Amino acid sequence: MTHRIDFQPDPTNYKHWNVSYDGPVAQLVMDVDETEGLFDGYELKLNSYDLGVDIELSDIVQRMRFEHPEVKVIVMQSGKDKVFCAGANIRMLAGAEHAHKVNFCKFTNETRNTYEAAEQDSGQKYVAAVRGSCAGGGYELALACNHIMLVDDHTSSVALPEVPLLAVLPGTGGLTRVTDKRKVRRDLADVFCSVEEGVKGKRAVDWRLVDEVVPNSKFDEIVATRATEFAAASSKDDVAQGVLLTPLDRRFAEDGSVSYSTVEVTADRAARTVTVTVKGPDEDAPADMAAFQAEGAQAWMLRCARELDDAILHLRLNEPELGLIEFQTQGDPDRVIAHEKLLLENADHWLANEVLKYWKRVLKRVDLTSRSMVAIVEHGSCYAGVLAELLWSVDRSYMMLEEFEGDNRPMATITLSEANFGLFPMSNDLSRLETRFYGTPDSVDALRDQIGTSLDAEEAETLGLVTYAYDDIDWEDEVRLFKEERASFSPDAMTGMEANLRFAGPETMETRIFGRLTAWQNWIFNRPNAVGPDGALQRYGTGKRGDYNMQRV
């Protein structure tokens, strides 16, 4: 798996999904082309999926929110006979490198979370209309929907058969959504996750695995009726026209660097580091939301979010050996605040809401990236408002203190805005400032008095907004020593340490999925019982069960 994975599919040429629109209701049909796997060596039979299928789904969900804000209900169905979705492709999992498997599962989880939250964030409700076998990741597709309808035809079922069949977990949130979201009783969940054949009909409703079962003869009719009812009951505003998400302006260089209009990605392979520089806006903020919408995908707040999102996904899947991400910003912090302020003052406007919610998702993507991360606050930077959130996503931050000889850039500052106090929550449902100061919540209250103030390095360090502030004499050595030390540590130990330290405070369904469940699946994907030559993933389809080491560890 050496070719570059692209997270920007052509929406006019989806290979695995069909989308149609009828006013407030959209039909999303999964019809996977089994010959169009992302890599060679497997066929995507029975509507099974690989990363390529999910990349298209992610793109559709994103476009649904920006390009089709008139949609209030999305009905997810299968285009195959007798199967909804068989889940992640087993041959793909068996042949993929460990890093690809883990990053595939993480991206798939993030995609599920995105459409699961669409009802609360955007007023778009996803309905799973399940006919046929709905197993493993297929049921996880349905679980992330807001309403599940199952045909009652004596053959259609929902199932999580990973444990008995594959010696792995239903790791795309399956275990967690069954207990936390569907609130299935623990002993029934234990039974459900231990049987291959799944659960059908009325029992699926009784066990809370689906919301309703419908006779086969009336299934299409009742699905259509339910979609119409949900659309009529929606409080989402009627929006006549969306915003086209035009192709990103990006260029890939031979040395691995990537240039966007607002983001630069520069790799240092010898040092195993990469610098991601986010550029603030060059122009003044649009005068109002009409002007913002007229700019469309070129509006800085939307364009920057899209480009940073793509850059992070590119680094995750295509550059696994660049273990330290260094964030920098360049630009005028006042302009950043002005562009953000327009959206904050018009948060009830559908497009302002969508862009702000998109930034929430992008910042979560940064939080959940398994790389060491550092923010460098140099003179001429623009860590303000939404970009200041990067300071508290990373593991450490270093800020230039006082003037540097020969450096005529504006002094390094940090500017807080109202958005930093809850608009962009982490997976633990706390703001990054609340997470940072979890032991001293009064510190967060005190920081509100600093909203709109340009804080210099001494003030920022005193307030706890950065880890260290260094003057011209110590700066270069201290930053260099940190990078060298970090690059020398075991990446496995760093992944475990960082993931544990980043999410203080309460546990949520999301932290359980990305922290507990993903961590266990990561470990299981390394175990011979699952991936060894005689493991369940390798023997799947041969008629032989996996040969297990039966020691409990």
Q: Are residues 384 and 324 in the same domain?
A: yes
Q: Report d(CA 551, CA 383) in Å as an integer.
A: 51
Q: Are residues 304 and 209 in the same domain?
A: no
Show the CA angle centred on residue 105, arms to residues 99 and 108, nearest 5°: 135
pLDDT of 332 above 90: yes
Q: Are residues 222 and 110 in the same domain?
A: yes
DSSP assigned state of 20: E
Q: Report d(CA 456, CA 21) in Å as an integer.
A: 51
In whole angstroms, what separates CA 75 from the centre of its chain?
Answer: 22
Residue 301 lies in a domain: yes
The arithmetic mean of pLDDT across residues 202-208, rounded, is 98
CB of 63 closer than 8 Å to CB of 11? yes
Residue 519 lies in a domain: no
The arithmetic mean of pLDDT across residues 49-57, rounded, is 98
Q: Are residues 25 and 118 in the same domain?
A: yes
* Domain count of the fold of the chain: 2
Residue 525 lies in a domain: no
Q: Report d(CA 500, CA 418) in Å as an integer.
A: 28
CATH number of 477's domain: 3.90.226.10
pLDDT for 516 equals: 87
Helices (H) and strands (E) in the chain, counts: 24, 23
Residue 517 lies in a domain: no
Residue ending a domain, among 204, 231, 258, is 231
- Domain hosting residue 463, numbered range: 250-500
Q: Are residues 425 and 296 in the same domain?
A: yes
Ramachandran angles phi, psi of 39, nearest 5°: -130, 165
Q: Are residues 259 and 144 in the same domain?
A: no
The per-residue pLDDT of the chain, averaged, comes to 96
Q: Give the confidence band of 541 by pLDDT, cuts at 50, 70, 90.
A: confident
pLDDT of 171 above 90: no
CB of 177 closer than 8 Å to CB of 509? yes
Stated length of the chain: 553
Q: Are residues 213 and 266 in the same domain?
A: no
pLDDT of 253 above 80: yes
Q: Are residues 160 and 202 in the same domain?
A: yes
Residue 157 lies in a domain: yes
pLDDT of 86 above 80: yes
State the pTM of this model: 0.96
Q: Are residues 198 and 344 in the same domain?
A: no
Residue 339 lies in a domain: yes
Q: Are residues 301 and 430 in the same domain?
A: yes
Q: Give the confidence band of 522 by pLDDT, cuts at 50, 70, 90.
A: confident
Q: Are residues 198 and 259 in the same domain?
A: no
Residue ending a domain, among 464, 481, 500, is 500
Residue 332 lies in a domain: yes
Q: Are residues 420 and 449 in the same domain?
A: yes
pLDDT digits (tens, 9 = 90+) for 1-47: 457 999 999 999 999 999 999 999 999 999 999 999 999 999 999 99
Residue ending a domain, among 485, 500, 515, is 500
Residue 203 lies in a domain: yes
3-state secondary structure of 185: coil
pLDDT for 2 equals: 58
pLDDT for 1 equals: 41
